[in-house]
Amino acid sequence: MTISSTHPAAGALTAYAAPRGGRPAALFAMAPEHLPALFPAPLLDRLKGLFDIDESLFAQGYDEESLAPVLAETEILITGWGAPRLDSAALTAAPRLRAVLHTGGTVREVISDACWERGLLVSLDELLAGSDIVSVHAPDTPQTYRMLNRERLALIPDGATLINTARGALIDPEALTEELLSRRLNAILDVTEPEPLPRNSPLRLRPNVFLTPHIAGSLGNELERLGRSVVEEVERLLGGLPLLHPVIQADLGRVA
Pair type for strands 76-79 and 133-136: unpaired
- Peptide bond just before 194 cis, omega within 30 deg: yes
Q: How many CB atoms lie within 10 A of CB 21?
A: 5
Q: Where are the alpha helices (DSSP H) in the chain?
A: 35-38, 41-50, 68-73, 88-93, 113-117, 124-129, 150-155, 173-181, 221-238
Phi/psi at 145 (nearest 5 deg)? -60, 125
- Integer angstrom CA distances of residue 223 from 21, 43, 50: 39, 21, 28
Q: Give the separation between CA 121 and CA 91, rounded to whole angstroms.
A: 16
**Cα distance from N-terminal residue to C-terminal residue, the chain:** 26
Q: Give the separation between CA 216 and CA 195, rounded to whole angstroms.
A: 15
Among positive and negative, which fits the CA dihedral 140, 216, 149, 161? positive
Are 179 and 153 in contact by the 8 Å Cβ rule? The answer is yes
Phi/psi at 125 (nearest 5 deg)? -65, -45
Positions annotated as catalytic residues are 167, 195, 214
